[in-house]
Structure 1
Amino acid sequence: MLRLDLQFFAGEKTEKATPKKRQDVRKKGQVAKSQDVNTAILLFFVFIILYVTGDLLKETMTSMYRSSFTEYIHHDLTQDYLFHVFIDVLRQISLALLPIVLMAIVAGLASNFLQIGFLFSTEPLKMKLNKIDPIQGMKRIFSARALVELAKSILKIISVGAITFSIIWMNKDEMIMLVDKDLNGALAFFGTMTVQMGVAAAIGLLIISVIDYTYQRYDFEKQNKMSKNDIKDEHKNIEGDPLIKSKIKERQKQMAMQRMMSEVPEADVIITNPTHYAIAISYDENKADAPYVVAKGVDFVARKIKEVARSHQVMMVENRPLARALYDKVEIGEVIDEEFFQAVAEILAYVYRVEKKI
């Protein structure tokens, strides 16, 4: 029973997403993002550019209206001339709207970059059958997220409506007095009031979008939480199964020990502790300028070195401090340090004398 409880808690998604999990879902295009941030920033800068280029738009429209009644109306109605008029009107409208379009593109890209940085993914464009599954669709409609979106939409409608009504109400007296103004004055008033309503509504939406972005981040973190088992599985995939790794390390140690033991028969002498340490020393002028360690070990490995040495009649000399010092300071395959030259040379000289007598 306790084991089942532990398995349940291990499978419960209580842990924050790991950096790898975040990177994987990001590659799929899944990020914490609020569309309202894009809308608010886009509206704000579009209305600002409308305010700046309002005179240009008015002049363009006035010029087109003037040309229609002073130039176009006097020409013969032919296919070529209609095409010429269409191209001329399209050019003028394009030039007038170009700043607005460019501002909209820049604002849209900037708002996305502020939220998620640079991201390019084709994953959201792939066909997924669960998107057209009616059962899944009903679940999405009646989900908690759908209720949040509904509440957010109602809040946006109420906020934008209240803001625009307030601006109209504040300008009601001036609106009534428009009967005393000419056409240019009326257009200027309505243009200014439209920009005011647009900018104010955009600021209101921006405030709502901050709340929405906070919720989107919370929901994103909640959806991508991981269980302890998920984290363990991910770690195994990245680092490899610990059991397999331990077996590989054990096999590597065995192979290294076999290579080391194969060098022991060629050693000139084995310096021992005598029970705990064993250091195999060789000296070959063609390989090194000084004696070097071909094998070393403690306890079990030391016993194996001595067994191989006995079977191949390699001499063993007991020198406790030298054996310990060589084990601590000299690695296998390395030349011994200068501080050990004297002691090792005396042992090698003794070994060579004994072998000659034999």
Structure 2
Amino acid sequence: MNYLHLDLQFFAADEKTEKATPKKRQDSRNKGQVPKSQDVNTGFLLLMVFGVLFLLGSQMKSTMTGMYEHAFQEYIHWDVTEMQVHTIFVEMTWEISKVLAPIMGVAIVAGIASNLLQVGIMFTGEPLKVDLKKLDPIQGAKKIFSARALVELVKSLLKITMVGSITFAIIWVNKDEMMLMSQKSVQAALAFFGNTTILMGLASALALLILSVIDYTYQRYDHEKNIRMSKKDIKDEHKNMEGDPQIKAKIKEKQRQMSASRMMSEVPDADVVITNPTHYAIAVKYSEDQGDAPYIVAKGVDFIALKIKEVAKANNVVTVENRSLARALYKNTEIDQPIDEQFYKAVAEILAYVYQLEKKI
């Protein structure tokens, strides 16, 4: 029973039930794994392109018809020479470019805007890296028959149905007028079919945009599900970010040792060591170059206090016992910092006593 309980705990720890951490989200983004719907791109692109056709359609039609009129009125009479063919090619290319440039420009802007709207600014080459796992036929078969593939199939059928229904409905509404176009002029027929096409495009684009909202919501849900983490993953990530506790403890211990070693090297230069006398030891130094107040060069309790006193004795540094002052300095003053103003008088008296002993005054 104990083994079974441990197994259940192990599987529970590995179950991906937790929301992704900010680091996990950033790592996924760096790999190019972001929630994104292609339908947003498609719908936005179609809406912008057909919007341009709606606004500039008459001008484009005039440019195209003018190009044909010029071709059959002027070019048809030209001799077929290398120079004449080159001239025709350049002029035709320029006229066609004037028609296509607004459409291509808007398509590029729409593509960039729809991507920025979904994922923001992102540069990564991770998806371009060669991954041999993608060539695995078993994994490929699993993707084909996965739940995601089924969702994509349903989504594609829904798009085809929506666009087909909208197109059929518009044609059906205009069928009578469409039949009469054979009796109209070419200009009227072009205007009618152009407007009808733009209407079908705009309606289809709006329908795709509505569908893309649903698809983007699903893509976000699926992305959040895929980047979920287990409790063990979160602990491992925290451990990697903060460092292994044992390693951190060793580093801190090493830092304490280095700090103590550096502190001990300052004791020989101290003017006096104030002691408890057994538990506390505070090494004090006064130098006009360092400031107007004495400052602490070393302090410690128990074993470190004993080491400070040993170093002081070995270097002929005077040791003075003052229990209350030693405790107060230890608690209220840091190493390499001047003593607090409240201790000036007591420390000054001790330093005066030390200077007298050393015959400095």
Q: Does 1:238 align with 2:237?
A: no
- TM-score, normalisation: structure 2: 0.88
Which amino acid in the other structure matches residue 181 of structure 1? K
Aligned sequence identity (%): 63
Moved more, 232-241 or 100-109: 232-241
Following the alignment from structure 2 to structure 1, what is the Cα–Cα distance between the partners of residues 104 and 250?
64
How many matched pairs? 356
1:301 pairs with one of 277, 300, 304: 304
Match of 2:260 among 257, 262, 269: 257
Which letter does structure 2 place at the counterpart of 1:296? K
Tell me how far 1:4 sits from its aligned partner: 3.6
CA offsets 1:120-170 (integer angstroms, 9 cap, x no match) = 223323333233332222111111111110000000011111111121222
Residue segments in structure 1 that go unaligned for 5+ positions in a row: none
Superposition deviation, residue 194 in structure 1:
0.9
2:135 paired with 1:147:
no
In the TM superposition, residue 265 of structure 1 has moved relative to its aligned partner by 4.7
Per-residue deviation, 1:335: 2.9
Could you tell me which residue of structure 1 aligns to residue 41 of structure 2? 38
- Report the more deviating stretch, 170-179 or 60-69: 170-179
User: Kindly tell me: are residues 303 and 5 of structure 1, through their superposed partners in 2, closer, same or farther at Cα, counting changes over 3 Å?
Assistant: farther
After TM superposition, the structure 1 = structure 2 runs for residues 277-296 of structure 1, keeping only pairs within 5 Å, are 277-284=280-287, 289-296=292-299
Partners of 2:315 and 2:81 in 1: how far apart? 113
Whether 1:205 and 2:203 are equivalent positions in the alignment is: no
Residue 187 in structure 1 maps to residue 190 in structure 2: yes
> Which residue of 325, 329, 334 maps to 1:322?
325
- In structure 2, what residue type is equivalent to 1:113? L
Q: 1:25 aligns with which of 3, 17, 28?
A: 28
Q: TM-score with structure 1 length normalisation?
A: 0.89
How far does the alpha carbon of each residue in 1:189-238 deviate from its partner, in whole angstroms, 9 at most, with x for none?
11111111100000000011111111111111212222233333333333
Matched, 1:224 2:227: yes
Is 1:58 the counterpart of 2:61 in the alignment?
yes
Picking from 90, 113, 125, the partner of 1:110 is: 113
State the 1:341 CA deviation. Answer: 2.3
Q: Match of 1:335?
A: 338
- Of 2-11 and 92-101, deviating more is 2-11
Cα distance in 2 between the residues matched to 1:287 and 1:108 = 66
Which consecutive residues of structure 2, in runs of 5 or more, have no partner in the other structure? none
Instruction: Give the whole-Å Cα distance in 1 for the aligned partners of 2:272 and 2:91.
Output: 102
Of 99-108 and 172-181, the range deviating more from structure 2: 172-181
> 1:270 is paired with a residue of what secondary structure?
strand
Question: Is residue 2:9 matched to residue 1:6?
Answer: yes
SS in structure 1 at match of 2:334:
coil
RMSD: 2.5
